[in-house]
Structure 1
């Protein structure tokens, strides 16, 4: 979770072959699964949101190379600390 905006945008492109300027929200989870970062391009610049849970952890895949599309409802649940079902 030490990477900043530029590093995460590069990771989206180089490792996952996705376009970080697409207007999609990209979520990244820390190793302890108690925090995550969200990266979003709004057309003029990047936004980065950082959230750390004081109690509990996220239900998150252990595969660092896995990319999943989430619904807006699933993202909302994650930000509130609820588990989501990952297929």
Structure 2
């Protein structure tokens, strides 16, 4: 992570790793005094990610809703999801 993506593993990040079969994942987070490791194996189906990041440029921020979809094995690109409104004034 530090070498490939130039990210501090002790920063405020949630790192998610998916195996080749895409039916299980690990998530890693530093909480200040140790790492939290989450492992999940889907009983059926696969994690719906088109491509996992391979470089820092491929990384992206995800909303809590997108993270929930991802952890449930759904695509984070939900075509029927209501998009958040842009902040500011409407004309």
Superposition TM-score tier, normalisation by shorter sequence: 0.7 to 0.9
For structure 2, which runs of at least 5 residues remain unmatched after alignment? 79-91
For structure 1, which runs of at least 5 residues remain unmatched after alignment? 1-11
User: RMSD of aligned C-alpha atoms?
Assistant: 1.8
Asked if the contact 1:29–1:36 (Cα under 8 Å) also holds between the matched residues in 2, the reply is yes
Question: Counterpart in 2 of 1:85?
Answer: 77
Return 58-67 or 39-48, whichever deviates more. Answer: 58-67
Cα distance in 2, alignment partners of residues 28 and 69 from structure 1? 15
Equivalent position to 1:70, from 53, 62, 69: 62
Q: CA deviation at 1:82?
A: 2.0
Asked if the contact 2:48–2:73 (Cα under 8 Å) also holds between the matched residues in 1, the reply is no
Task: Give the number of the structure whose alpha-carbon radius of gyration is greater.
Answer: 2
Size of the aligned set, in residue pairs, is 75
Is structure 2 residue 30 aligned with structure 1 residue 41?
yes
Question: Counterpart in 1 of 2:3?
Answer: 14
Cα distance in 2, alignment partners of residues 80 and 33 from structure 1? 12
Distance 1:79 1:64, change over 3 A: closer
TM-score (norm 1): 0.75
